[in-house]
Amino acid sequence: MRRLVVVSNRVADLTKSSQSGGLAVGLADSLRQRGGVWLGWDGKTADTSENLEPVSKQIGDVTQIVLPLTRQDYEEYYLGFSNSVLWPLFHYRLDLVDYKTVYLDGYRRVNARFADALMSSLREDDLIWIHDYHLLPLAAELRQRGCKQRIGFFLHIPLPPPEILSAVPRHRWLVESLLQFDVIGLQSQTDLNNLQHYVEQHLSSTMTGDGRFQWGDREVIAGVFPIGIDVDAFVEMAERPNDEVLIETRRREILGRRQVIGVDRLDYSKGLPDRLRAFARLLELYPEMRKSVALMQIATPTREEVEAYVEIRTELEALSGAINGRFADFNWTPVHYIHGTVPRDALAALFRSSQVGFVTPLRDGMNLVAKEYIAAQSMDNPGVLVLSKFAGAAEDLREALIVNPYDVDDMARNLCRALTMPLDERQDRQRALMERIRKRDNASWLNNFLATLEHSKSPPPLD
């Protein structure tokens, strides 16, 4: 078995038995089993450019290589080009793109440092797997340094269509850098179509039906590899008693109340303001729902140094306060807004005890919260998933109630439908959804991608 080399913006903590987040959940345990290297940033910044040599640590059969960043690197590569240019661009938010040449310079500089740090650790038959938008030029940097190994790339966020992608300066350089990978993995068929259209319109190349196309003297394979979760592990976590959640669940049962739950990073791509407006609209359109249902929205802090994230936090706090001020009674609060982090085991229990999972991003690569909500449900009395049609997960999770996250009335109507759905219909939908998330779990994602990378196989077809 060929050694696996993983590169990502952040390294996972391989000393922990479990991880949070799609990338870590999908890779950490498999890398420990296979052995190899994981290179990335440790999240810390240095004041000066001195002593920035990579630091290696052996953890079982895995070599962890940590690459320090300076404060300048952090501001230009991470906050700048990665999260003020690529993140809004790839989530179709051109109005939030803040392009500066110095950001691009920092992005290229840090990717070059990643390449320098990796080259000395490579073996001739390694498989290299690079992750996400922070490292789009890394294969090109490695090729310039003589790297001959097969290199794969997986994009965890959406890929926009050519008319959006081409709005940013140096867009052709970005895509030509992407084409230095041997295998390009995307979350959805929409993303693959967008790549195909860009290649045809801007690079005059043609992709075959199995995702192959020629770029220079190299063959590139692009395919859809929907990321999944460890279903059995999440089921077990959801079934484990949690005293605090159990007490609150019993209280709601006594009062005859139900709970709608949303769990997201605090990000403008998640559609949180309109989600709260949709819940308020539910209470307007269906007065019988008042005092009988509450929304719990958990918003995990992220990128708080970016102005757009400060603004959305302020908006959500004002919205939740306004809804509660309008509808609340002395013994019923319609919106429970939590700006903080909830432990993963508590989240699983909260999913299981909530009658509706409300997952309505404006644009998302996949959205594993949707799959975790499904995994947490009891077949005896399952909840209902209300899911945005612009989440990558919607291509597969067709038995969810699919909504338009820009249409507040549509979301409100489907919330009502979910809350009043008969048991037999809920069970039928849950049975089909569980089958889908088991078929495309994290092991399937990992194995399918590595098989394509190692053996140049065509990506497995989606059905």
Which residues have a catalytic role annotated?
156, 364
Alpha-carbon distances of 239 from 347, 351, 443, rounded to whole Å: 12, 11, 22
The amino acid at residue 57 is: K
* Residue 40 CB-half CA count within 13 A: 22
197: number of Cβ within 10 Å: 15
Rounded Cα gap, residues 26 and 186, in angstroms:
15
Alpha-carbon distances of 325 from 84, 330, 449, rounded to whole Å: 35, 11, 50
Alpha-carbon distances of 98 from 88, 95, 104, 189, 426, rounded to whole Å: 9, 9, 11, 28, 44
- The owner of tokens 């998302």 is 364
Contact yes or no for 394/424 (Cβ under 8 A): no
CA-atom Rg of the chain in angstroms? 23
H or E stretch at 311: helix 307-327
Rounded Cα gap, residues 237 and 234, in angstroms:
5
Contact yes or no for 357/370 (Cβ under 8 A): yes
Q: Is the dihedral of CA 19, 20, 24, 26 positive or negative?
A: positive
Q: Is 387 helix (H, G, I), strand (E, B) or coil?
A: strand
Nearest Cα residue to 221 out of 445, 451, 452 = 452
Nearest Cα residue to 358 out of 257, 238, 271, 421 = 271
